[in-house]
A and B are shown apart, each in its own frame.
Chain A
Amino acid sequence: MHPVDLIALLPLLILAATSIVVMLTIALHRSHRLASLLTLIGLICAFASLWVARTLTPTEASPLLEVDSYAVFFLGLVIAATFVVVILAYDYLEKQPVNREEFYVLLLVASLGAGVLIVSAHFVSFFLGLELLSVALYALNAYVFTRALPVEAGIKYLVLAAGSAAFLLLGMALVYARVGTMEFSQIGGLVSGGGHLLKDPLMLAGLALIVTGVGFKLAVVPFHMWTPDVYEGAPAPVTAYVATVSKGAMFALLVRFFYVTGASSLGPVFLVFSVIAIASMLVGNLLALLQSNVKRILAYSSIAHLGYLLVAFLAAGRWAVEAVAFYLVAYFITTLGAFGVVTVLSNGERDADSLADYQGLFWRRPALAGIFALMLFSLAGIPLTAGFVGKFLLVRAGASSALWNLVVILVVTSVIGLFYYLRVIVALFASPETAAPSPAPSPAVSASGASTLVVLSALLVWLGVDPAFMLQVIERAISSLKLL
């Protein structure tokens, strides 16, 4: 390994170093403000180091890790999302009756895991990143352990994640047993080289088991069942993190793994993904229809959104990757914004997750209600929001590969989905008289939280109105991906 390769890995190294620094600081002096400040500084440094890393791309820092412009793009996304979560979490944790500082250590470790997933080019780094992310998330989910729901969420996530990781490991083992290598690019070479691999039972079964591992993290049908319980139980900022960083990093890996190995074009694997996509779109949207818990609605909606993303994933090709990347950006912004509103409205006793808490919110907190409505509009894919442009790109990618069944289901289920987004929006604007008799939690919003939400809304509208700049960035970023 060359010293230059270390520079390419600088963003990951900074994340790791920050977590250690924060941990040591806690040992010396317990201060919530200091811990969060150090975390933010570390994240800013990591983000800045992306430009340094970018000058060296593409470089295979080791056989395990490949830092290319594609990875840099998603690293940036993950770091930025973590930054937002830290800001939102600060005010949230202030209200919780637990030690607050360790939260940031766990969060940094999780982001490090996500980063490793993004740059991994090898089964070993894949698994390492996954476990780093998962283990940190077990603790994060149950962070507010004084309440029952977070603990339940943590345990459910622990058992199921560990179980699905076992499937993943077995899958990797089967593939390795057949091809004798764990490097994605070499597997890809073998798949495209020898036709016999396409029908090999060991290889196919291995891939199917890998799909299980990936599918669990992405929360797609039928590996989705944990989502609503964990979303509902976990503290709101953690939910935001699980919904965005964890899924985004996994999707970046999914695209890299299946495109580089060429496995997604294998007929049976393609079929499996199609079934998953269709089932996710249908079940996710249907499950959300009459829900009365906002966090559960967002959980089900995220299942559907991952289904939409899979349509573009299956379409393959440059447009598809562009669509996936843009959609993820839009999804990150929107989800962070939506959970951000939930976070700032939550108090020390419970999260503001009942639909009744939002009844007539517009008349009490017009700005928050407006931002929440904007986020929901984007999730529903209404024009002038980033969500619309993202969905448009997905449909374009699907249509250009003539995946008509998938595209039609995408459109139809989007219409079904509109219903529950509008249900929440209607509740937001319901006349104040019909609001819940018991006053819902309505704490003061700090300047940092408010400005974060405003920036997210501005980004949302900007990407919805003028997506050209972001598309250019994406175009340059994905050029490093060796598409088949």
Chain B
Amino acid sequence: MNLLWLIPAFPIAGFLFLALAGTRLSRRAVSIVGAGSVGLSALVSLWIAGQFFVSPPAGYAYTQTIWNWLDVGSLHLPIAFYLDPLSLIMTLVVTCVGFLIHVYSAGYMSEDEDISRFFAYMNLFVASMVTLLLASNLVLLLLGWEGVGLCSYLLIGFWYRDPANGYAGRKAFIVTRVGDTSMLIGLFLLYRHLGTLDIQTLMARAAHQWPVGSPLAVAAGLLLLGGAVGKSAQLPLQTWLPDAMAGPTPTSALIHAATMVTAGVYLIARMHVIYQLAPSAQFTVGVVGAATLTLAGFSALTQPDIKRALAYSTVSQIGYMFLALGVGAWSAAIFHFMTHAFFKALLFLGAGMIIESLHHEQNMFKMGGLRKELPVVFWTFLIAGCALAGVPLVTAGFYSKGLIVWQAEASSAGRWGFWLVAVFGVFLTSAYTFRIIFLTFFGEAKSHVHKRPGLAMTVPCIVLAVLSLVGGFVKTPEFLGNIHLFTDFLHHALPPVAVAHARAMSELASEGWVTLALIVGFAVAYFCYIERPEFTASLTRSALGNALHRFWKSDWGMDWLYDRLLVWPVMWFARVDAGDAVDSIYTGIARLCEWFYQGVRRTETGQIRWYAAAIAFGTLIFVAVVLFL
């Protein structure tokens, strides 16, 4: 277990090597270094996970201190990694899924001229993400947090020659920055009142010092939630994620679907004690999740662009995780994170292969009939789609989402409203998922396939497809084998959900409703896009339908609203103050210095008589000073 430091060290080494020498390597070498470093990292985490299962450390937690980072007064910040079931599972998923996506990238990016830059960024991302997960204190966590933000920005704008991509990168960076600021204030608050930034000590002190419902805990919880919604693209800061699809598709799969965007979920789970002390903050988490999952679901239904549709689906699925966190179903949230990482990464990888084989066509209405042309893509995409919709029994998504839906009501912090929204969300998910599948793979072919994906791209997809199928069998409902390996393991780090048995509905009933919602969603999608596509077309042409369609497609007008509320006023002020009144003070100082310069330079005449006179004159004055003062 003392190999822990190697998990971030390999990708960092890969990043440094590629950044310094990448342009001199062949494409093949770049791919080997880029994917290999993450592969080694994944092997180490698998090895450590094995050790952890076989002989768990005392208290199911292991801390490794690398060196002292800062030691000033009472502030003691080591570079230390903390491994417990929570960080272990997240690290495993990040490195393993990360490795598969790196392998896929080796194929996907093989013809890009900047492949070494791409892999350097990707390696830096994995290193930062793992640092975020393993950090034992909040400042190191913040370092990873900002590191993944930076990589996200760099990769969204990877093809920087198109200004739109740069714009999308900036948007992502600035919007998440809003959340980061809130999180930073939260950290200041925690340090101010609890005197430490070490996460475990912090939790212990919080539980000891703050009573339940303490306003400080609520404030800290809400401030951290601000950071989480920024990074995880939840309401009201979700607007950056769909635009972030401007980056290369493997980036979308790794950063903007499987890993980075779930950092907010991790943060809240990691800081769960704060939320247990602040029920109102926790309730807010649930409300944010519930609201996001529905709104994003509607938006996903209306996107013509396959990647944007998947992006909204990601926002919506993370909404489920937030909902789970909001009702105290910590393990369920992490469970859904894991399965989501499998199938959502796979969906994006599949989308990438489709886009590439169709000459960078992203509009689903120009696709169709790809089922026979790209069989591997079709089958893996179908499996991932079923997992996303939560097709019962055989897919991982069914188990993780079903658990959340049930606990949304059954948990002692659960509510009927949450459950209702969650079930409705299942309907939406099923509808938009099958809409995507029907539009791309069924119907008549509208575009010609000119390129088929190679092995480097298909093999990771097949592995992820298998995981999307079997990944759920680590935790099954009571009436289906009652396996609870996953939750038992996590309960060493996160408290188990408190089920309010008195009023709770049965798990079977909940799953029944979920399945019903799924079937309805499937039926709607089938009717609208296979059976009667012309009906859908007429629907969107009608006045009300058109307005609603446009409203949802534009993400409920959030961008429009933010433009009016924030961007325009700032731009207006920038225009008005283009001369910058305050700046004139500094310009004035500069002018003054210049003026003085012009004055004193006249003394440098180059004439020796003048120099000698100055010496004599200076001496005279000094003699006068000492004599008469």
* Residues of A near any B CB (own CB < 8 A): 155-156, 159-160, 163-164, 167, 201, 204-205, 207-209, 211-212, 215-216, 221-223, 225-226, 228-229, 267-269, 271-272, 275, 283, 286-287, 289-290, 416, 419
Contacts and interface: CB of A to CB of B under 8 A. Distances in A.
A216 B615 contact: yes
Interface in B574-596: 593-594, 596
B626 A207 contact: yes
Contacts of A207: 626
A286 B593 contact: yes
B625 interface: yes
Nearest to B601: A287
A281 to B, nearest CB: 13
A205 B623 contact: yes
A226 B609 CA distance: 11
B375 interface: no
A287 B611 contact: no
B73 interface: no
A159 B387 CA distance: 93
A164 B615 contact: yes
Interface residues of B, number: 25
Given A225-B603, A289-B593, A209 B612 contact: no
A286 B594 CA distance: 8
A179 to B, nearest CB: 16
Nearest to B628: A268
B625 A208 contact: yes
Contacts of A155: 608
B112 interface: no
DSSP class of A's interface residues: helix, strand, loop or mixed?
helix
Contact of B626 (A164, A216, A269, A283): A269
B594 A289 contact: yes
A207 B627 CA distance: 11
Give 7 closest A-B pairs by Cβ, nearest first: A222-B618, A268-B626, A204-B626, A225-B611, A289-B597, A212-B619, A208-B622
B614 A225 contact: yes
Contact of A223 (B594, B597, B603, B618): B618
B600 to A, nearest CB: 5
A145 to B, nearest CB: 18
Nearest to A229: B606
B322 to A, nearest CB: 42
B604 A272 contact: no
Contact of B617 (A222, A229, A283, A290): A222
A241 to B, nearest CB: 21
B611 A160 contact: yes
Given A208-B625, A222-B615, 6 more contacts: A225-B611, A271-B625, A271-B629, A286-B600, A287-B597, A289-B594
27 contacts: A156-B608, A159-B608, A160-B611, A163-B612, A163-B615, A163-B616, A167-B619, A208-B626, A209-B623, A212-B615, A212-B618, A212-B619, A212-B622, A215-B618, A222-B615, A222-B618, A226-B611, A228-B604, A268-B625, A269-B626, A272-B622, A275-B622, A275-B625, A286-B593, A287-B600, A289-B593, A290-B597
Contacts of A215: 618
A340 B596 CA distance: 31
A419 B596 CA distance: 14
The winner among B593, B604, B612, B622 for most chain A CB atoms within 10 A is B622
Contacts of B612: 159-160, 163
Contacts of A201: 627
Contact of A286 (B597, B622, B625, B629): B597
A275 B597 CA distance: 19
Nearest to A155: B608
A204 B627 contact: yes
Nearest to A283: B600
Contacts of A159: 608, 612
